[in-house]
Amino acid sequence: MAGNLALPLQEFIASLENTCLPKILQVCSGVYFQGSIYEISGSEVCFSTGDLIKVIGIELQSVSCEDVTNNEKFELPITHTGLFKVVPEQMPYTSVEEMLSMRPVCLDDSLPFTFTSHSKMTFGSLKLGAGKALTVLSVEKREGEEDMVRCHIKGQTETSAEVCIPLSSRGEFSECESEECYTLKEIMASPCLRSRRFRFVKTTKCERILVLSPVYQIQAIMNCKKNVLRFPSSLEVDVVDVTDVCKDANFVTPLNLTEVLSQPDESFPVVAEILEEPESRSFFKCAWLPGLVKSTNLILHKKGTTPMVLMSNLKGRKTQQYFLVSLQYGGRFRRRPREFNSVYEVYVASTQTHSLTVSVTRNCEEVEEEGLPGLSIGERLQIVDCTRMELPCENNKGEKQSVEALLCHRLQEPDDEEEDDEDEEEEKDKQKEAKEEVLLPLYMQGHFVEVLGGNKKYKLCDLGKEFSLPLDVKVVSRDTELETDPLVAFPCLRIEGAMLEPSIQASFPDRPDHCFHLLPQWLSLSVSFTEDALPWPRDQFPKCFTEKVSEMTDTFFYEFRKKGNSDEAPPPRPPKRDMSSSNLVKKKSKSSKKSSKPKKNKDKSVVTEKLNDLTLNNKKRPPAPLPPDGVNNEPPPLVPRKFSAADITSKAKPNTYVKINQPLKRDHVCDVAADVESDHDYETVDETLVAVVKTAQENVMFY
């Protein structure tokens, strides 16, 4: 190491590129000695003189700015949007060739630029005085002759001329300040620009001359530690490059999961130690996730590609849950009818399902102006094709409009009565003849449910072959290999999509036969292979049980949808209508069924209309019925009470507004006739109730 030059860490790292990594450095000197500890962003980094550091990655984080006048330092983020200008060098150049070679960027990109000569120059018959400005336009290379620089000269009377100057011309030349501006990213990307001085453009600090230096975050490992270190390149430590000398030094090799996938198959199974925990746990809700902590061992059994599907429960009383299910899942499924909230959703489903049939689940009122047909609950529609239809309404320009619509066949409902086979065949023939075509505009809102036939059970792998996704299913028989099958508890599950994921089969040493999948695309984890023995006898691999259902978070679902998002066209918008008052009035609903339908269906439609009157579908409630003709609006007159002398002396004065009927003798109750001409319609008080009231009054008087 005697011939190697010690450099400050920041200067050495600034000269590196990711393509030349890794590099082995040795700490040789600095303000930190005998093992100092730097606490940076919550992590302790300890360097001692003589320590070996293996740099495995660098990432530009910020830019250090030093004011050359007062040595003041500050940092700017690499995303800083301010612009900078190159400050011309104070020392003059001795030749034109030297000046061109020191341009801050490529010569072709920096042209044109202007310079001056401190002395007089003579080129043939042309003489230039000292301080004359020349603008370099191009460099002309001539075979067998000296290269020339073509320059533009402006005279005092706004005359101009071009002159060719030999590249080897000597003298004292100084460059003039250029109007070219640069961002921090452009400056840091060019080694020539990084060597120049700059000043701010259009700020109050534009007079400050700055030296810009990149600040990297260094990712490194040490020969005495297993964890990956991260520290800035601005540490005041001097280092020496000893890569060629210390090739055989023993360093822990950290591997992320993507790098683990690139390892040969012969490397598995292997015991690996976790060097870095997952940075984000927002994708998984698995039971094994909390066990992925630093310094914990994992058994990596094998690598491969696992086909999976993403499932979700439909929104309802329970919270939304998502599951990543392997195609090795052994349960059985049965299809569930899909629900649609618009004709456009029905159209999308019809492109994925042949001969789709739906049933109407909510009444739809006919609106003739918009071409919306009337639909009743229970009607079955068979999707035929997507076509165009003309609307009866006109736009603001008085033109007819045509929109996309779904052509359907309205199927006749089968009778509930039992019939013979011959009658059933005749009924089917009648249904074929009685099919009615209905056009549903794609922008129409409605409520439909898919009509399914049969109760066939499917394996998970068969569902993807026979049907397109998304698909609604229900688990009808659980996977017997699972201790607890979380999918059985849901009445309906939706298969959102399928994926083919690179995965690593892993387990913990205390339960080597209970395996799970590590997905490098969704999990950030750093491990290192160890030489520890596997927890089973040699060549006697245990029978492994691999987790087939993993619960995921909604964040995983959203990211999955982003990756699989296609540029689908949005649902169509309703057409523009003529806003005149004559066209805004809605016409009454008309029956869209033909008279050839059975009488039973007519009766059903009448009942449906009566039920509709009881719902809130109408915008205005019907007015209340009028009272009978013989009823007036005057309240009944009050009858004054008559009191006896005994009642006045012995009882409290009763309420004037309460009438207490006197008890009647039992033998005269039946003889009392109703007073038809009386203005009162009080009910006759029962004799037993009168006796109870009298007893209560006597008890009150006694006390």
The domains of the chain are located at 7-67+217-241, 91-176, 255-332+456-564, 339-393+401-412+436-450
pLDDT at 511: 92
Q: How confident is the model at residue 670 (pLDDT cuts 50, 70, 90)?
A: very low
CATH number for the region 91-176 comes to: 2.30.30.40
Q: Coil, helix or strand for 336?
A: coil
Largest separation between any pair of C-alpha atoms in the chain: 156
* Contact (Cβ atoms closer than 8 angstroms) between residue 51 and residue 36: no
* 296 or 390, greater pLDDT: 296
Eight-state DSSP code of residue 395 = -
- pLDDT tens for 612-635 read 454 444 445 555 556 555 555 555
Give the whole-number percent of the chain exceeding pLDDT 90.
20
Q: How confident is the model at residue 96 (pLDDT cuts 50, 70, 90)?
A: confident
How many CB atoms lie under 10 A from the CB of residue 229? 20
Q: How confident is the model at residue 31 (pLDDT cuts 50, 70, 90)?
A: very low
pLDDT at 45: 65
pLDDT at 292: 92
* Position 321 pLDDT exceeds 70: yes
pLDDT at 636: 60
- pLDDT tens for 569-616 read 666 666 655 544 444 444 444 444 444 444 444 444 444 454 445 444
- pLDDT tens for 228-260 read 788 888 888 889 999 888 877 788 888 889 999
Domains 91-176 and 339-393+401-412+436-450 share a fold: yes
The per-residue pLDDT of the chain, averaged, comes to 77
DSSP 175-235: EPPP--EE-HHHHHH-HHHHTSEEEESSSTTTT--EEEEEEEEEEEEETT--SPEEEETTS
**Partners of 324 in beta bridges:** 310, 550
pLDDT at 269: 92
Segment 347-361 shows an average pLDDT of 87
* 298 or 652, greater pLDDT: 298
* Position 459 pLDDT exceeds 70: yes
* 199 or 18, greater pLDDT: 199
C-alpha distances (whole Å) from 361 to each of 235, 406, 455 are 71, 18, 22
* 641 or 470, greater pLDDT: 470
- pLDDT tens for 357-382 read 999 999 988 887 777 888 889 899 98
The 3 state secondary structure assigned to 139-151 is EECCCCCCCEEEE
Q: How confident is the model at residue 436 (pLDDT cuts 50, 70, 90)?
A: confident
Of these ranges, 41-55, 537-551, 657-671, the one predicted with the greatest mean pLDDT is 537-551
pLDDT at 626: 60
Distance CA 232, CA 466 (A): 56
pLDDT at 516: 94
Contacts with 508 (C-beta within 8 Å, 6 or more apart), sequence order: 288, 291, 296, 297, 298, 299, 514
**Partners of 313 in beta bridges:** 493
pLDDT at 514: 92
The CATH architecture one would assign to domain 339-393+401-412+436-450 is Roll (2.30)
Both tokens of 596, joined, read 């050839």
* Position 329 pLDDT exceeds 90: yes
Distance CA 694, CA 246 (A): 117
Segment 28-35 shows an average pLDDT of 53
pLDDT at 312: 92
Q: How confident is the model at residue 454 (pLDDT cuts 50, 70, 90)?
A: confident
